[in-house]
Homo-oligomer: A and B are copies of this chain.
Amino acid sequence: MQYQVVIQLSSADFTIHKGMLDQISNLLNDLDDIKVEVVVHEEAYPFLLENSYFNLHVLDLQKRAVQFYVCENTMNAQHLIKSDFIPEVEMVSSGVAHIVKRQSEGWAYLKAGF
């Protein structure tokens, strides 16, 4: 069986970012066949900036087929453009709309954070 999960990250908290990365590792280790998408919006956008502390973690997970998205509403609010982010990051027009769409397609949902 293939599992599919969309993870919402809206926090600027470093320990929440770290906890989410650990959760993704655990998902990939525990489930043989899983697609993971991470939607980054609101205060969480620094997580995906090119100079992010977690830059290498993100690149490593992308190699394991985890897809990272940043919300264009957040980008506009923060006056950011695509080149400000880690190169492989993709854009979605609305982060929450993407999460709703995925759930309506049957994906599971996890909210990152404590």
Contacts and interface: CB of A to CB of B under 8 A. Distances in A.
A100 interface: yes
A62 B96 CA distance: 19
Identical chains in the assembly: 3
A13 interface: yes
A66 interface: no
A65 to B, nearest CB: 15
A35 to B, nearest CB: 11
Contacts of A104: 1, 3-4, 106, 108
B26 A100 contact: no
Interface of A: 1, 3-5, 8, 10-13, 19, 22-23, 26-27, 29-31, 34, 42-44, 71, 73, 93-97, 99-101, 103-104, 106, 108-111, 113-114
